[in-house]
Amino acid sequence: MNHAEASSGSAVQQAPFSLISNHLVVNMADNFDQSDIDRLESRLMQAVATNPRLKGVIFNLSEVFTTDPHDLQSLQALFQAIRLLGAHIGICGINPGLAVVIVRSNLEFGQQAIGSDIDDLLSKAT
């Protein structure tokens, strides 16, 4: 397992990137905001574009208990951009409160693989 630490930003700094089985894993921190997503977008887009062996990006939301619908919409836009570069998206660790915010915000996460945890998503990818 290769680890590359994020080097800037509040929620992004707390969230290490890990490479596991040709999947980049992003651990999102609680209460991330637009500036965190902007920093994350820059790093992720470069990582996906420069790593042709990368199969997908897994977003681990298990530490996210507080966020707002606007920030979730920005995260959803990031998912779409990553998919346009050819990587699959996986989301895991959604807690009940976050699930309610997602549903009430009318966000569609149907094009992403959903799993209970990282191992669950990796088992579905093989």
- Per mean pLDDT, which range of 24-33, 70-79, 107-116 is the poorest? 107-116
Reported as a single tens digit per residue, the pLDDT across 5-45 is: 333 333 434 446 889 989 999 999 999 999 999 999 989 99
Counting the structural domains of the chain, the total is: 1
- Containing structural domain, residue 52: 2-125
pTM: 0.84
Measure the CA–CA gap between 12 and 90, rounded to whole angstroms: 18
Helical segments of the chain, H only: 10-14, 34-50, 69-84, 96-104, 118-125
pLDDT of res. 6: 35
- Per mean pLDDT, which range of 9-18, 32-41, 52-61, 68-77 is the poorest? 9-18
Q: What is the CATH number of the domain that holds 51?
A: 3.30.750.24
